[in-house]
Amino acid sequence: MKVTVRIILLPFLLALISACSNKLTLEVDSEVPTPLATKLPVHVGVYYSENFRNFLFQEDSENRENWVIDNRESRVSLFNDILPSMFASVNMLESIDTADSTIDLIIEPQVMEMQVALPDETHSENYEAWIKYVIKMYHPNGDLLAQLPITGYGKTPTAIFKNKERGLSTAINMALRDIGAKLVLDVPRSPEVRTWLHTKIDCTQYSYLCS
């Protein structure tokens, strides 16, 4: 009788363990170091939409049952730390329409896509993460100046982290660091922004933007 019970329960327990291993609830709490940058003499207003503040990575499939990755705090902290290192001043806006006469430029980051991959999915030895943003920049009157896509990529080897939660969290943190570095480099060099900056800056002080 005991043998029979074990034979019946073993497949059930294995299936239960397998199902549980496919679930993931991950809250990413990371700090991104502020890259060194020359502050531009521009006063910026930043607007975080509800979508940007509340975006979650969610997936419910056969291999990823009830996956939820929450990096909301890290996302907002990234821009709160990076933008003040780039511009003379940064003010939070309740909407794009609330900019006053002291604002030269409005920035609105948007989350477009987020993807993660486990080592057994890519047949590699790394946990990987991709995060894509679009940085929208507006004139103070609300007219669109430029849209700049920025994709961050991060990976961490299984040799360091065997646990998927820690491995993915670290990969996402690396992707955020990548985005922070690209913000500093790519925003001032966007063709539309460069043209606009020529009307706002002294080219004798910022020759690398006026060439």
Beta-bridge partner residues of 58 = 68
Position 32 scores a pLDDT of 64
Position 165 scores a pLDDT of 86
pLDDT tens digits for range 56-68: 888 888 888 888 9
CATH fold for domain 23-210:
Rossmann fold (3.40.50)
Q: Where are the alpha helices (DSSP H) in the chain?
A: 2-21, 50-54, 72-86, 119-122, 164-189, 191-197, 207-210
Position 158 scores a pLDDT of 81
Q: 81, 70, 179: which is closest to 130 by C-alpha?
A: 179
pTM of the model: 0.81
What is the H or E stretch that residue 45 is in? strand 40-47
User: Is-contact 197 207, C-beta < 8 A?
Assistant: no
Beta-carbon contacts of residue 201 (< 8 Å; ≥ 6 apart): 40, 41, 42, 209, 210
From CA 114, how far away is CA 98, in angstroms rounded? Answer: 30
Task: Return averaged pLDDT per consecutive 10 residues of the chain, 211 residues in all.
Answer: 39 40 63 71 94 89 86 89 92 88 94 92 90 95 95 88 84 91 90 88 72 61
User: Is-contact 69 57, C-beta < 8 A?
Assistant: yes
Domain boundaries of the chain, sorted by first residue: 23-210
Position 65 scores a pLDDT of 84
Cα 28–30–33 angle (5° rounding)?
Answer: 155
Q: 187, 186, 182, 180: which is closest to 74 by C-alpha?
A: 180
